[in-house]
Amino acid sequence: MSPNPASVTARRTGLALLALGAGCHDHIPSAPHRVTGPSDQIVTCQADVRARTVSCGASGSPVAITTTSGFAADLIVGGQNTNVLLKSTNVSYDATAQIFQADVTVQNLMTPTLGTADGNTVNGVKVFFHAGPNVVSGSGTVTVANADGTDTFTGTNQPYFLYAEMLPTGIVSAAKTWQWAVPTTVGSFTFQVLVNAATAPPRATTCLAQPGPTITLTGLHTTEYHNAQVADTKIDASTAQFMTGSNFPVRISGANACWHGGEIIGQLPPSTSWPTMIKTFAILVDTGTNVTVEDFWMFDYGNGVSFQQNAPNFTVRSGYYIYDRDGCVENDYKLSGTIDDVYMECYDPIADEGGFGVDGSNNLVTLKNSLVHLQPMDGVFKGTIPGTVGIFEWGSEPATGPNLALFNNVFRVDQNSSELYLAPPPGKLIDCANNVMIWLGSGPFPETLPLTFNGRTCYTLMTGQAGLDYWNAAVARWRADHPSLLPDIAPPVVSLFSPGIVGSSTLTGTVNLTATAADDWAVGGVQFALNGQNIGGEVTTPSPLTKYTLRWDSTTMPNGAYTLTAVARDTSGHSTTSAGIAVTISN
C-alpha cells in the first residue's frame, strides 16, 4: 500500500507417526508449537500389489515411546495430514524382478524444522519400519529391498529410508524410491512406519552462520544506516538500537545479505495520519536476491520490512513488529518470500499490493510459525476509526498477487476491516495446515475461512474468551522464546483520541476521556490533565488494546476553556505528554 520510496537452540528427537497417501485428521492444535503426549496412534499401511496402490490409516494401538532397545524420544507428534505428510506416487510392480515400488516424499507440517539439531547441520530424516511387511493375502514373504540401512528404533534391526535434508515447516522432501521384494504369489501386504528426526525450533537457524564478512553495529544510532554494498555480507546489529526520527533508519542492498538483530524505534504519535506513516520504513531492502532480515524488534513505523522490485526470494524471520502502522511485511512488487516465526501487531500484516501493475501470480509467499494480530489504528487509509485493512492485502486485482502457503500460524482479528482480505484471497492458497483464527469481533467471522485444505485442517476458528486466552498464551510463549537483551530507552507514544480524533470538545456532565498509547515494551499508565493539573486517577488498563479511558465528572471543574493532555508512562519510567486538545467545560 506504500509508495515506492526511491523508485537458544534446543536439540529434540522427533518420533512422527505417519501414513502414506490419504489418511486421518488426528487433532486440532492446542498451541502453535505442537507437542503431543507420550504416545500416539501408529499408522498401518496396506500395499495392493495387483492394483498398484498404497493406502494407510491409524490403527487402534498406541506406540510406546521407550522400548527395550533403550530408545526414547522427547517430542512425539502424530497425524497424517496434521503434522507430517507422506505421499506416494509412481506405484508399480515388476513381476519379472518381483519388485514392488513407490516414490515417497515427506512434508513437514510442524513448527520445528525436521532433520537438524541446530538449524544448520543436516542430520536427515529417517523413516523406520516399525512392523512388517506382513502378507495378508496370497502367500510368500515380503522384505524391504533397498533400505538405506538398519538400526534400533522401536526394535532391533529395523530397516529405514534416509532423507538426507532439512525440512522446515511446509517443505516437501525430494522423492525417494522405496522397494519391496514381493513374490508373484502375494496379493497384498501391510507395514507400519515411524519417522525419526532431530528437530530444531525456528530460531535455531540464523543467517549469521552463512559465509561472508561481518559488519557489527552496536549502541544507539541517531543517524540513518544506509549501505548499498552488502552482497554476501552479514550485518550483526544484535546490540544496536536506532532512534533516528527519520523515514529510513535502515536501508540496505545486496544479494544474500543478512541483517540480524537490533531494534528500530519510531516516535510518531498515534494520531499521525496514514499518508504520513506510509512514507516511513523501519528496514528498507532496495535490491538483492535472497536477503534475510531476522531477530529484530521494530516499533511505530508505517512499513516494517519493505522489499523493493529487485529483492526477490526474501526471508523475514523471528522478528517482533510492535504497533506497526501500515505493512509489517511490505511486498509491493508481489515477490516470493518466506515469513517465519514472527510476531506482528499491525494495521496491514502482509501487504502485497503497491499499485505498480506487476504480475506476481507465479510467485509464492510462505507464512509459518507466526502470530499475526490485525491491530486497529487511529490513522487509517479509509473506513472506521480505529480501523484496519485486511491481513492479506492483495489489492483490487488479487489474481495478480502471489500464491500463499500457511502453516502453524495464529491470527487475531478484533473487528472487521475496511478492505479485503481477512482470509486467504480467493484462488491464492496452494498449501495450508494447522492455522488458528481468533475472531474477537461481533457476529460471525466476516469472510469464508477455509477450515480444511486438501483433506487436512487448514484453519480452526476460535472466538470469545477462549480465543483470547489462546492468543494470550501463544503471545506469552513467543515472548518467552524471544527475549531481548536490549535496554528500554524510548518513551511511549500517546495521542488524545476522544476528544481529539473523534468525539466532542465540549465536556458536559460525566464524560469518557480516551487516549491512545503504545510502547515498545509496555505502557504503565496514562494520566489525564487539564491545564497541567491532573484529573482523576491514572488509567493503567487499556480497553480495548492501546485505548486508555477515564470516566470523569466534568462538574468538578468550573465552566470555561481548557487544554486537555494525557501523559503516558512506560514500565521503565519514561513518559510522554500528548499534544493538547482545546476543550470547553459547559455545565
- Give the start-end residues of each E strand in 352-485: 364-368, 371-374, 392-393, 403-407, 410-413, 429-433, 435-439, 452-453, 456-457, 459-463
Q: Examine the pLDDT at 29 and tell me if it is beyond 50.
A: no
- Give the start-end residues of each E strand in 521-580: 523-530, 533-539, 547-553, 560-570, 575-577
Q: Examine the pLDDT at 80 and tell me if it is beyond 70.
A: no
C-alpha separations of 439 from 107, 432, 466, 469 in Å: 29, 19, 10, 12
- Which amino acid is it at 262? G
DSSP 7: -
In tens, the pLDDT along 180-215 reads 999 999 999 999 888 888 887 767 789 999 999 999
Q: Examine the pLDDT at 529 and tell me if it is beyond 50.
A: yes
**What's the average model confidence in pLDDT over 61-90?**
51
Radius of gyration of the chain (CA): 27
Which one, of 102, 114, 109, 128, lies nearest residue 165 by Cα?
114
Task: State the pairing for strand pair 258-260/225-227.
Answer: unpaired
C-alpha separations of 426 from 338, 422, 429 in Å: 20, 11, 7
In tens, the pLDDT along 464-491 reads 999 999 999 999 999 998 999 899 999 9
pLDDT of residue 458: 94
Omega cis (within 30) before 426: no
In tens, the pLDDT along 397-447 reads 899 999 999 999 999 999 999 999 999 999 999 999 989 999 999 999 999
In tens, the pLDDT along 216-270 reads 999 999 999 999 999 999 999 999 999 999 999 999 999 999 999 999 999 999 9
**What's the average model confidence in pLDDT over 497-524?**
98
Percent of the chain with pLDDT strictly greater than 70: 88
Alpha helices in 402-499 (DSSP H): 464-481
pLDDT band at 47 (very low <50, low <70, confident <90, very high): very high
- Where are the chain's structural domains? 12-202, 206-481, 493-585
Q: Count Cβ atoms below 10 Å from residue 74 Cβ, excluding itself.
A: 14
pLDDT of residue 71: 28
pLDDT of residue 429: 98
What is the DSSP code string of 274-342? HHHHTT-EEEEEEE-TT-EEES-EEES-SEEEEEEEE--SEEEES-EEEEEEEEEEE-TT---EEEES-
The overall pTM is greater than 0.85? no
pLDDT of residue 391: 97
Q: Does domain 12-202 have CATH number 2.60.40.290?
A: yes
Q: Examine the pLDDT at 32 and tell me if it is beyond 70.
A: no
The CATH T-level fold of domain 493-585 is Immunoglobulin-like (2.60.40)
pLDDT of residue 257: 98
Lowest mean pLDDT among 54-63, 231-240, 289-298: 54-63
C-alpha separations of 168 from 175, 201, 286, 457 in Å: 16, 9, 27, 19
**What's the average model confidence in pLDDT over 82-100?**
89
In tens, the pLDDT along 320-379 reads 999 999 999 999 999 999 999 999 999 999 999 878 889 999 999 999 999 999 999 999
DSSP 2: P
pLDDT of residue 42: 64
In tens, the pLDDT along 135-161 reads 999 999 999 999 999 988 778 899 999
Q: Examine the pLDDT at 68 and tell me if it is beyond 60.
A: no
In tens, the pLDDT along 96-117 reads 999 999 999 988 887 788 888 8
Backbone dihedral region for residue 81 (phi beyond 0: left; psi -120 to 50: alpha; all else: beta): left
First to last CA, the chain: 46
Three cell numbers, residue 118: 541446530
In which element (H, E) is residue 201 found? none
